[in-house]
Chain A
């Protein structure tokens, strides 16, 4: 009897919101067709699959092989290092810039700054790679010309293993930080102005207002963005692909470039699928783990 009532309630609710469900349908279908159906291909991680076709079932052989291969371990370490540094640097810069932008009172100037810092995001990585290769070149590149002007030796920013990571993190931040402020600025605009007015009456200066009102209101957004970024932690590809070279493989080769080389260029489809699957599982653990930590600390979770 109870389930009958539930069923009726469910049907009633469905009937009430049917137009919304209908509107949701294309997106849902897109999700299923292009995100879930391709997951059926994950089975190839357990098969001997190359250009000859799908061979025997080999269980976890590809996974064991990957974890024994120096190339994979190096790619894994580099990915973790680059992505974690990237998240830390970008989050810090994004929050700082968002707070600074929020303090600008001249709206025209604020819009101008926003537009300028958004622009790099719309350049493709191929263009960004070419531009920075020119700017950082030791043969007439603007940066090295300036270094030489100061009386120092030119630096091989993209060819020196000691400089590559820093250069890469700078370039990726240059492209993404501006765009990253969009979410934070939206969150900042949602803070109740009365809180600031009350703080002013209580004698809080702008610094105190920022610390005691703005930042606490940004924490939920920071957590969401952090978890979303963690989900993408192993997705570094284009940015590395256009900026790396054999001189810096040791510090630059990441999982996606490794998968590209072994899967697409060496036709080891099964192996590349296994590496890709391992990458996804680790990313899932990271996201889930972070979510659990957040849940413990704040009593609420994002997922």
Chain B
């Protein structure tokens, strides 16, 4: 009986030990030398596409062993902030654009301007892209992972041709195209089953990246107008933009599921031939739109177009790489990781195209991308940095498809560079609630709960209660 009791006791004691054994293993990590660093990354290639092999190739190239953590993209920000809250700081991290200010002012990141100035490789990087990360304190806490890029409008060219319409260049033409796409059976299937424009409802400041044809010169977020920060939502341009949204929505030419659309839902409507126009990222998405639409209709042709008169696209500030104070030797990390990313040579190839023989190969004297390991139906596009959004004068080994180049040319030539608003304590505390308020007021104005003017007055009162004046002061001082 006694031996049985001991056996039960032994098992019960052993159980929690086994449960927490992994924690002890983690504790030894701090003893590792600087040649091994922990990096938390968002856009790095996934395990199924050869993340481990990429890490090995990076180690062979630089001598720096990366312990890579890659949270799910849609939970990235939350997981990273939770790690910081728990005091579990990585050495190196990628920060999403919207979070840069909060992380940069957290006191946990090291200034990088000294390393940037000393770097030969960074001399060839577009200065504006780097300066976008400089805070009011004069320090730069992050470097761009790639040129932020932006969205363009994609349109079903075959539908335009079927209806005898040309690419719209003014608001009236654009409106008429959306009307015809909705009402005039652009796919010729004899059914009333298409809508002119589909868009996802962006719940963050991404709202300003999209919807440019309707927004035109208006801004949903805070904007730098003539050198002064203002709340874009309160500007007269926004009133006109909301009226345009409302007209399209009321007339049925804007997807009536707009508010519940996710980006994937909206994209799939273009792929399936349910919608004829959508604004989305320039670059590799140009070919994805065209290829996917062709899957459901071989005659489909999706092309990127220039913005209409009075409208322009946005060049956003891209995600940033940063080094934390937890890093034992930030200089080594900067030189081996960030410098390699823009070395105009083999390092930049590894960061963009990946590993030769696994992600790209030489074929008939030309470099071509190989099928994506996790999805062989399409070619591998990038290991980490987008080869179509290069920050320096490096020429990618594998030239981009014509549509990709075209979409980027259109976006670059017709875009304005966004800046990061840098507020203080009130901004940090209230910006989320103000954003939620904007979404709600915007939705209710479109929905007809109240008139656009009533909506704006309503917003003004409630935003003021949340400290809008103090926020604007912080942004400008």
A residues bordering B, Cβ < 8 Å? Answer: 18-19, 22-23, 25-26, 29, 49-53, 69-71, 133, 137-139, 156, 158-159, 161, 245-247, 249-250, 261-262, 264-269
Which of A29, A70, A138 contacts B256 (CB under 8 A)? A138
- Cβ contacts B420-447/A at 8 Å (1 or 0 each): 0000000011011100100110111001
Given the contacts A18-B5, A246-B442, A265-B77, A156 and B256 also touching, CB distance less than 8 Å: yes
Q: Are B260 and A250 in contact (CB under 8 A)?
A: no
Q: Are B256 and A265 in contact (CB under 8 A)?
A: no
Q: Using known A-B contacts A69-B433, A261-B432, A264-B82, determine if residue A245 contacts B259 with beta carbons closer than 8 Å.
A: yes
A19-B8, A29-B16, A53-B107 known; A137 and B257 CB under 8 Å? yes
A25 and B12 form a contact (CB under 8 A): yes
Task: Please measure, in the bound complex, the distance between the C-alpha atom of A257 and the C-alpha atom of B78, giving whole angstroms.
Answer: 14
16 cross-chain CB contacts under 8 A? A22-B12, A51-B103, A51-B106, A53-B87, A70-B465, A71-B436, A138-B256, A159-B257, A159-B259, A245-B260, A246-B203, A249-B436, A249-B439, A264-B78, A265-B77, A265-B432
In the bound complex, CA of A22 to CA of B255 (Å): 62
Complex Cα distance, B107 from A51, in Å, reads 9
Nearest chain A CB to B340 CB, angstrom units = 28
Is residue B81 within 8 Å, beta carbon to beta carbon, of the partner chain?
Answer: yes
- Kindly list the 7 A-B residue pairs having the minimum CB-CB distance in the complex, ordered from nearest: A246-B439, A266-B432, A246-B443, A51-B106, A247-B443, A249-B440, A247-B259
Contacts of B5 in A (CB 8 A): 18-19, 22
A69 to B467, CA, bound (A): 12
- In angstroms, Cα B429 to Cα A49, docked, is 12
Closest chain B residue to A244, Cβ basis: B260
Which residue of B15, B432, B442 is within 8 Å of A262 (Cβ)?
B432
Known A139-B274, A156-B256; 10 more pairs at CB < 8 Å? A18-B5, A26-B16, A133-B260, A159-B259, A247-B259, A247-B447, A265-B78, A265-B432, A266-B428, A267-B81
B182 to chain A, nearest CB (A): 12
Q: Which residues of chain B are near A246, meaning CB under 8 Å? A: 201, 203, 259, 436, 439-440, 442-443
Interface class of chain B by DSSP? helix
Bound CA span A6–B82, Å? 49
Residue of A69, A70, A265 with most chain B CB atoms under a 10 A cut-off: A265
A137 CA to B255 CA, complexed, in Å: 11
Q: Could you tell me if B107 and A52 are in contact, using CB atoms closer than 8 angstroms?
A: yes
How distant is the Cα of A262 from the Cα of B430 in the complex, in angstroms? 9
> A22 contacts B9, CB within 8 Å?
yes
B450 within 8 A of A: no
Residues of A within 8 A of B82 (CB): 264
Q: Is B21 an interface residue (CB 8 A)?
A: no
Among A69, A70, A246, max chain B CB count under 10 A is at A246
Using Cβ atoms and an 8 Å threshold, which residues of chain B touch A49?
85
B75-132 interface (Cβ within 8 A of A): 77-78, 81-82, 84-85, 87, 99, 102-103, 105-108
Contact: B431 with A247, CB < 8 Å? Answer: no
| Residue of A with least CB distance to B87 | A53
Cα–Cα, bound, A264→B71 (Å): 15
> Does B378 touch A at the CB level, under 8 Å?
no
Q: Distance in Å from the Cβ of B176 to the closest Cβ of chain A? A: 22
**CB-CB < 8 A to B432: which residues of A?**
261-262, 265-266, 268
- At the interface, yes or no: B462 with Cβ under 8 Å from chain A? yes
* Chain B, residue nearest A158 (CB): B260
Compute how far the CA of A51 lies from the CA of B99 in the bound complex, rounded to whole angstroms. Answer: 11
User: Chain B, interface size: which category?
Assistant: 35 or more
- Interchain CB contact under 8 A, B15 and A51: no
Known: A69-B433, A245-B201, A250-B440. A267 touches B102 (CB 8 A): yes
State in angstroms the CA–CA spacing of A250 and B274 once bound together: 31
Chain B residues packing against A (C-beta within 8 Å): 5, 8-9, 12, 15-16, 77-78, 81-82, 84-85, 87, 99, 102-103, 105-108, 195, 201, 203, 255-257, 259-260, 274, 428-429, 431-433, 436, 439-440, 442-444, 447, 449, 462, 465
| A70 and B462 within 8 A (CB) | yes
B444 partner residues in chain A, CB cutoff 8 A = 247
> Are the C-beta atoms of A159 and B260 separated by less than 8 Å?
yes
Cα separation A159 to B443 with both chains bound (whole Å): 10
Pick the contact of B257: A18, A139, A266 (CB < 8 A).
Answer: A139
Nearest-CB residue, chain B, relative to A139: B257
The residue on A at minimum CB distance from B20 is: A33
Given the complex of chains A and B, what is the CA–CA distance between A246 and B432 in angstroms?
A: 13
B449 to chain A, nearest CB (A): 8
Evaluate contact between B431 and A266: CB separation under 8 angstroms: yes
- Is A139 in contact with B429, judged by CB distance below 8 angstroms? no
Task: From the candidates A26, A137, A262, A264, name the one contacting B12 in the complex (CB within 8 A).
Answer: A26
B87: chain A residues within 8 A (beta carbon) = 53
Give the nearest-CB partner of A268 in chain B. B429
A119–B99 Cα distance when bound, in Å, is: 40
Alpha-carbon separation in the docked complex, A239 to B99 (Å): 27
By a CB distance below 8 angstroms, the chain B residues around A71 are 433, 436
Query: B422 to nearest A CB, angstroms?
Result: 15
Residues of chain B with a CB closer than 8 A to A265's CB: 77-78, 432
B439 touches A51 (CB 8 A): no
A250 and B444 CA atoms in complex are apart in Å by 10
What residues on B are CB-neighbors of A25 within 8 Å? 12
Q: For A69, list chain B residues within 8 Å (CB).
A: 433
In the complex, chain A residues whose CB is within 8 Å of the CB of B108:
51-53
Q: How far is the CA of A264 from the CA of B102 in the complex (A)?
A: 13
Question: In the bound complex, what is the Cα–Cα distance between A266 and B423 (angstroms)?
Answer: 14
User: In angstroms, how far is the closest chain A Cβ from the Cβ of B284?
Assistant: 26
Cα A284 to Cα B164 in complex, Å, equals 68
Give chain A residues whose Cβ lies under 8 Å from the Cβ of B102: 50-51, 267
| A50 to B15 CA separation, bound complex (whole angstroms) | 36
Q: Which residues of A contact B447 (CB under 8 A)?
A: 159, 247
Nearest CB on B from A185, distance (A): 34
- Given A22-B12, A139-B274, A247-B444, A51:B429 Cβ within 8 A: no
A138 to B431, CA, bound (A): 33
Contact, CB under 8 Å: B257 / A138: yes
Known: A19-B5, A247-B444. A51 touches B462 (CB 8 A): no
Contacts of A52 in B (CB 8 A): 105-108
A279 to B429, CA, bound (A): 21
Q: Which residues of B contact A266 (CB under 8 A)?
A: 428, 431-432
In the complex, what residue of chain A is closest to B447 when comparing beta carbons?
A: A247
Nearest B residue (CB) for A22: B8
A264 to chain B, nearest CB (A): 5
Cα-based distance from A156 to B431 in the complex (angstroms): 30
Q: Which residues of A contact B443 (CB under 8 A)?
A: 245-247, 249
Residue of B87, B103, B259 contacting most chain A CB atoms (<10 Å): B259
- From residue A136, how far is it (CB to closest CB) to chain B in Å? 9
Q: Which residues of the partner chain A approach B85 to less than 8 Å between Cβ atoms?
A: 49, 51, 267, 269
